[in-house]
Structure formats: C-alpha cells, structure tokens
Structure 1
Amino acid sequence: MDNRYKKGMEILKITNKGAIEDLFEGLEDIAPDLGRFVVEFPYSEIYTRETVDLKTRELATVAALTAMGTAEAQLEDHINAALNVDNSPEEIVEIIMQMSAYAGFPAAINGVMSAKKVFKKKNLLPLKSKE
C-alpha cells in the first residue's frame, strides 16, 4: 500500500472514517480510483501539513462547502468530521452563519439545515443561542 494512501487514511480514521467507506462503496463500480485520489491528495498532502490543526482545517472546509452551496453530502460529512476533531456544534453553526455575508443567505440556510441533520443524528439538538 502506498505511503500517501496510508497517511491519508490515518487522517480519515480521526476525522470521518465512515464517509470514505461510503464513498469507496459508491464509486467501486464506476470510478474506484477517484476514492483513492481523495485519500491521497487532500487527506495525505493537505490535511497533514503542520501549520494548521485538524480542528481549524475542518472549520475551513465546512465554510468552503457551505459557500459552494452544491455539496450537501460532503458538507454533512465535514460537519461530522468537525465534531470528531473537537469543534462544538455552536462553533460549526457560527462558521456557517458567517458564510451568509460571503455566499448569501440561501447558502447559509442550506448549510445550517445540513448541520441540523448531522446534529439530530447525534442527539445534539436543540442548541442554545448565546447572543
């Protein structure tokens, strides 16, 4: 097994192992190499860089996917990953809400609804507003 693949899988074990297994299963009959590429590039080459920790990387990823507005499944996976690396539900929602200023209210509302799905599965609702 390639060192890049091992390195990427180590990060995925920490962040979101189930998501990559689901991805592999979904791609196995059409594009099996695409799952490997996901492991070997972002998770091996980007997520393992030392300057930024996993907690911050996952918040940045949640922000980017929220702003894209076209990656609901991936956003839910990364919201779950953000929780797995010690981000609080409140921090995640705050980052998604900030995207309303940069990506618009529809993107932020959709992002919050994705967070709600993940939080509901993990029995983390209701959240209390601090403002």
Structure 2
Amino acid sequence: MTGSTATTPEQDYARALDTAEQLLGFRLERFLGQGVGEPANGADFKRLATQHAFGDAWPRQGVLDTRTRALVSVTIAATLGTLEPLRGQLRIALNNGVTPEEIVEAFIQLEAYAGAARAFEGYQVALEVFAEKAADGDPATT
C-alpha cells in the first residue's frame, strides 16, 4: 500500500520511548530491564504501560497542552501518594514549563482537598526534585 501511515508495534514503542526522553530528559530503558526474579511477562507490563502513557496519553495536544498535562499529572501522583512516579511527573513538569511556584500552588490545593499528610509527603519529593534541578543549574529552580 503506497502512502500508508500504519506503524508496527515496535515503531510505536520506539516513538513512546522517544517521547518519554523528550519529557523526562533521559531515556527510560534503564528502568525497563528485567529485574531479579521478575518473570518474563514483566517486560510486557512495562512495554504496555510505557506505550499507554508515553505513546497514547502524553502526545495528545488537542485540548490540553503538555505543560497543563504535566501539572495535572503531578497533582494526580501526589494525591495518590505514588512517590516515585511523582518524582518523574515533577521532572516532566519542570522540563515543560511548569514553575516551582506553580507546583507549590498545586500542593496548596492538594493540602486543602486531599489532606496535609498526603500533601507534605509528596512535597518532600518536590523539594528533592527542586534541589536536583538547582544542582543541575536549572535557572527555573534557582
């Protein structure tokens, strides 16, 4: 078929990994290798989750831009208390134009509606990411 835009699953996955790198500032492959004792189908889970997040959800631009999507994602991860994913969402947000001040404001809202304990726990992760970015010389965090 000439002019077809169909892609293979491998191409879609490679594109998802490229999107993740653009958003995070580093490649995800270091997190996707098989862990000690991990069954072989663990690779399927990681591929599907990566494809869904970075191949399907993040590239959508029709209604929410990447910057807004990032701030929403920070708030969701913090509200759920998923601290390691929160770390990644904070990096994505800061890499895509969300300011530390805006992140603090999101935590103020989170504290009001999800509770102080949940907000403070997530905010500690935010402080670590702010420090990490400042150490890297990121002007948005200095």
TM-score, normalised via structure 1 length: 0.82
Aligned pair in 2 of structure 1 residues 37, 27: CA closer, same or farther (>3 Å)?
A: farther
Map of 1:1-131 to 2, 5 A cutoff?
Answer: 2-18=10-26, 20-25=28-33, 27=35, 30=38, 31-50=42-61, 51-69=63-81, 71-123=82-134
Counterpart residue identity of residue 100, structure 2: P
Structure 1 moving runs of 4+ over 2 Å: 1-4, 17-23, 25-29
Instruction: Report the alpha carbon displacement of residue 32 of structure 1 after superposing the two structures with TM.
Output: 1.8
Task: Tell me, yes or no, if the aligned pair for 1:62 and 1:96 is still in contact at 8 Å.
Answer: no
Highest RCO, 1 vs 2 (Cα 8 Å, sep ≥ 6):
1
Cα distance in 1 between the residues matched to 2:88 and 2:34: 15
Instruction: Report the alpha carbon displacement of residue 7 of structure 1 after superposing the two structures with TM.
Output: 3.0
Consecutive unaligned residues of structure 2, counting only runs of 5 or more, are 1-8
Instruction: Report the alpha carbon displacement of residue 58 of structure 1 after superposing the two structures with TM.
Output: 0.9
Consecutive unaligned residues of structure 1, counting only runs of 5 or more, are none
- Listed one character per residue, the Cα deviations across residues 29-54 of structure 1 (whole Å, up to 9, x for unaligned) are 62122221122111111111122111
Please give the root-mean-square deviation of Cα atoms over the aligned residues, in Å.
Answer: 2.3
Cα distance in 1 between the residues matched to 2:48 and 2:25: 15
Cα distance in 2 between the residues matched to 1:74 and 1:105: 20
TM-score, normalised via structure 2 length: 0.76
Task: Tell me, yes or no, if the aligned pair for 1:97 and 1:112 is still in contact at 8 Å.
Answer: no
Q: Rg bigger for which structure?
A: 2
Instruction: Report the alpha carbon displacement of residue 28 of structure 1 after superposing the two structures with TM.
Output: 7.9
Sequence identity, in percent?
26
- Listed one character per residue, the Cα deviations across residues 53-105 of structure 1 (whole Å, up to 9, x for unaligned) are 11111111100011111x11110111011111111111112112211122111
